[in-house]
Amino acid sequence: MSDLNDDLGRELDALRARGLFRQWHTVASAQAARIVVDGRQFLNFSSNDYLGLANDPVLKRAGIEAIQRYGAGAGASRLVCGNLQPYRQLEDKLARFKNKEAAIVFASGYAANVGAIPDLVGEADVLIIDKLDHASIIDGARLSGATVRVYPHKNLKKLEDILRQCEKFRRRLIVTETVFSMDGDLAPLAEIVALKEKYNSWLMVDEAHATGLFGPNRRGIAEAAGVEDQIDVTLGTLSKALGSAGGFVAGSQTLIDYLRNRARSLIYSTALPPAVCAAATAALDFVMSEDGHKRRDKLWRNVSELKNGLAKLGIQNQSRSAIIPILVGDEQRAVEISQQFFQRGIFVPAIRYPTVPKSKARLRVTVTAGHTSEEISEFLSVFDSLCRSGRGADAAFTKASADDESG
């Protein structure tokens, strides 16, 4: 048999040759608009901490108090003895926040998708997903054993074709993100709801990048679109706008009881540390408060500033959220441009295959409520100078973005 290191090393060399080798930087500070990497300060345009809560004193205090009272670790799976009181408080609050009968918390959003999807559909069923759905949805689909049908991104006609062809299955479950994580655009939720009803199907939405940000009560896109009552399964994460960690599903009491009995990623995994649950509970309180409202308004002002600034530099995009992709196309080139930003003190990641399709590499720029106008201007001026210097970040952007519009 071949040597493990030779074998794997060759595969890594192939990744390097295609610009797909991945490395990470170690951040030596809290998540914020400015972070410390390699002993240097950087402006951070890469985080999903949209409301700047990850390092908020209110969350930190709640976490510290929970550690003092309940200790560092949960000790076991929730069904054994890990279901500490902060879980109960968090789930009660989540259900109220989401205006659902009940909610259940998993170790992460990823664990929630791979846990919940295989409980809802199996071999007799069909799962219908958007081409750009998150990896955790795809992995849940694979684990389920259900027939999987994929429709082109947001293509309602294709979705309807698939639904029409799938009436023979026992169950039909449609799963869509509401804010797409790498493009920042929104699912046409009202139209999907209409199709789900017409074809007597179930609908699950992943509100990972919408929870805490959209709708009058900041519950997500389903609330903003006025279709909350027609959603069968709502999934979200506590790790993005809510600044903590953990994933959740909200819905009927029956659904939640069912998941507690069936979801393997919940049953066979140690419960989240109490401090994490307590911080998430504090984040929910904040998001539901008047201050939370103001923080969210600040985020949308920052989003407008950044988008308007980019538009002036010729970069348009279809983002309707705090995720603003700048399309580059070529993988190697996206990495080079990200490195040029890095040299100029700005942290913005290149996102490549398989996170996005091949030749759709991009800079994924995210803005948060924690950025100041000066920091946004600094980003724009560095972007402008990179375009002008022609040392990589040139017309490729504009062209690729324009291609994206037509595609």
Site for ligand PLP, rule CB under 6 A: 108-110, 113, 134, 136, 177, 181, 206, 208-209, 237, 239, 247
Between CA 226 and CA 239 the distance in angstroms is 25
Query: Which residues touch 4 (CB under 8 Å, ≥6 apart)?
Result: none
Annotated catalytic residue, options 93, 98, 100, 134: 134
Q: What are phi and psi of 93, to 5 degrees?
A: -70, -40
> Among this protein's residues, is 384 annotated catalytic?
no
Burial tier of 68 (Cβ tally within 10 Å: 0-12, 13-18, 19+) = exposed
If the CB atoms of residues 224 and 376 are measured against ligand PLP, the closer one turns out to be 224
If the CB atoms of residues 134 and 295 are measured against ligand PLP, the closer one turns out to be 134
> Among this protein's residues, is 93 annotated catalytic?
no
Annotated catalytic residue, options 206, 207, 228, 331: 206
Annotated catalytic residue, options 177, 183, 223, 228: 177
Tell me the three-class secondary structure of the chain, residue by residue: CCCHHHHHHHHHHHHHHCCCCCCCCCECCCCCCEEEECCEEEEECCCCCCCCCCCCHHHHHHHHHHHHHHCCCCCCEHHHHHCCHHHHHHHHHHHHHHCCCEEEEECCHHHHHHHHHHHHCCCCCEEEEECCCCHHHHHHHHHHCCEEEEECCCCHHHHHHHHHHCCCCCCEEEEEECECCCCCCECCHHHHHHHHHHCCCEEEEECCCCCCCCCCCCCCHHHHCCCHHHCCEEEEECCCCCCCCCEEEEECHHHHHHHHHHCHHHHCCECCCHHHHHHHHHHHHHHHCHHHHHHHHHHHHHHHHHHHHHHHCCCCCCCCCCEEEEEEECHHHHHHHHHHHHHCCEECCEECCCCCCCCCEEEEEECCCCCCHHHHHHHHHHHHHHHHHCCCCCCHHHHHHHHHHHC
If the CB atoms of residues 44 and 239 are measured against ligand PLP, the closer one turns out to be 239
Comparing every residue's Cβ against ligand PLP, the nearest one is 109
Minimum Å gap between C-beta 206 and ligand PLP is 5
Minimum Å gap between C-beta 199 and ligand PLP is 24
> Among this protein's residues, is 25 annotated catalytic?
no
Minimum Å gap between C-beta 108 and ligand PLP is 3
Nearest to 378 by CA among 386, 364, 294: 386
Minimum Å gap between C-beta 273 and ligand PLP is 15
Minimum Å gap between C-beta 77 and ligand PLP is 18
If the CB atoms of residues 244 and 317 are measured against ligand PLP, the closer one turns out to be 244
Annotated catalytic residue, options 93, 98, 209, 371: 209
Annotated catalytic residue, options 98, 100, 154, 240: 240
> Among this protein's residues, is 177 annotated catalytic?
yes
Between CA 274 and CA 277 the distance in angstroms is 5
If the CB atoms of residues 208 and 322 are measured against ligand PLP, the closer one turns out to be 208
Annotated catalytic residue, options 46, 48, 113, 401: 48
If the CB atoms of residues 113 and 321 are measured against ligand PLP, the closer one turns out to be 113
If the CB atoms of residues 184 and 370 are measured against ligand PLP, the closer one turns out to be 184
Minimum Å gap between C-beta 358 and ligand PLP is 20
Minimum Å gap between C-beta 246 and ligand PLP is 7
> Among this protein's residues, is 217 annotated catalytic?
no
Q: Which amino acid is located at 336 in the chain? A: E
If the CB atoms of residues 110 and 341 are measured against ligand PLP, the closer one turns out to be 110
Catalytically active residues are 48, 134, 177, 181, 206, 209, 240
